[in-house]
């Protein structure tokens, strides 16, 4: 069996073990508190953090039989760490094509939110989305179809407006930058209804992906959206639509456009170590 498939299987077993055995310790806040501070919009980061000893396990099922498993842990009040690994064709009949290596996620909050000012966090995320494109001659660089966030800074602000409303905005610099090494800008919002349903949307202008010998973005950016159902204190389900701004057909150079809008499902578990 392929070594990368074994790595993913081990991560799935460990994740399942944590879900089955982890229980909140006496005196810890209820896991619903973990969900009340989102750490991501859909794919892009917020300034939210997990509390110390809190953890988040996410299984993301996406287009082309894709499966991505991630684990994040709050190690201190202002710092969290995570890893993720997956690939495409994991689900289905074709041979799995695994990502070249596991990704890491780091985030530290520099400024706490106040009545007038947002929370501000910095971090690093090496996990991209979609197929990993390893044909450097064709694509100009080895990269994910949607580049990883890389080094980022993000600000988040919350209000009460018929339920919780939060706005997010940030800058990022991907290390997948051989063909285009610009900084990009991303924004997003999360609106809560009734305390158990969220509607989320995010947009990346993708100024770091509009140059080179094969332009994937073609000045359209990346628009994603999701509906999140907080099932109970520990579980959440997310129905996602990615790359809504994609146009099926041919790119400017006549090559078939790899970008197509696609649907996904995420299952998230929250708890305490």
Domains of the chain: 3-272 (2.40.160.40)
Q: What is the pLDDT of residues 94-127, one digit of tens each?
A: 899 999 999 999 999 999 999 999 999 999 999 9
Q: What share of the chain is helix, strand, coil (3-state, %, to 5)?
A: 10, 45, 45
In this predicted model, what pLDDT tens digit does every residue of 127-172 receive, in sequence order?
999 888 887 777 777 889 889 999 999 999 999 888 889 999 999 9
- DSSP annotation of 30: P
Cα separation, 240 vs 202, whole angstroms? 11
Q: How far apart are CA 2 and CA 247, in angstroms?
A: 35
Q: What is the pLDDT of residues 11-36, one digit of tens each?
A: 554 444 444 444 433 333 333 455 66
Cβ pair 212, 140 in contact under 8 A: yes
Question: What contacts 24+ positions apart, CB below 8 Å, involve 93-100?
Answer: 94/65, 96/2, 96/4, 96/5, 96/65, 97/131, 97/132, 98/2, 98/4, 98/5, 98/7, 98/8, 99/4, 99/132, 100/132, 100/134, 100/142
- Confidence band of 3 (pLDDT split at 50, 70, 90): low
0.75 surpassed by pTM: yes
56 touches 69 (CB < 8 A): no
């Amino acid at each position: 069996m392929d070594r990368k498939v074994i790595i993913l299987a081990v991560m799935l077993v460990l994740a399942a073990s944590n879900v089955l055995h982890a229980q909140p310790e006496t005196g810890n806040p209820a896991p619903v508190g973990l969900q009340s501070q989102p750490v991501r919009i859909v794919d892009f980061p917020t300034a939210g953090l997990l509390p110390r000893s809190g953890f988040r396990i996410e299984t993301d099922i996406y287009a082309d039989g894709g499966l991505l498993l991630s684990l994040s842990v709050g190690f201190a009040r202002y710092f969290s760490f995570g890893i993720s690994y997956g690939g495409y064709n994991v689900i289905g009949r074709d041979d799995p094509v695994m990502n070249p290596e596991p990704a890491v996620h780091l985030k530290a909050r520099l400024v706490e939110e106040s009545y007038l000012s947002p929370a501000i966090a910095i971090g690093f995320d090496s996990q991209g989305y979609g197929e990993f494109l390893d044909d450097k001659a064709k694509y100009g660089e080895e990269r994910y179809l949607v580049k990883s966030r890389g080094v980022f800074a993000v600000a988040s602000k919350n209000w009460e407006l018929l339920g919780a409303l939060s706005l997010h905005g940030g800058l990022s610099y991907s290390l997948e930058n051989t063909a285009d090494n610009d900084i990009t800008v991303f924004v997003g919002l999360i609106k809560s209804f009734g305390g158990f349903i969220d509607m989320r949307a995010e947009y990346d202008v993708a100024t770091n992906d509009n140059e080179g010998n094969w332009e994937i973005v073609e000045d359209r950016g990346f628009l994603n959206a999701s509906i999140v159902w907080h099932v109970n204190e520990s579980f959440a389900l997310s129905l996602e639509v990615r790359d809504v701004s994609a146009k099926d057909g041919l790119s400017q150079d006549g090559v078939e456009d790899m970008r197509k809008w696609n649907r996904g499902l995420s299952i998230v578990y929250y708890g305490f170590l």
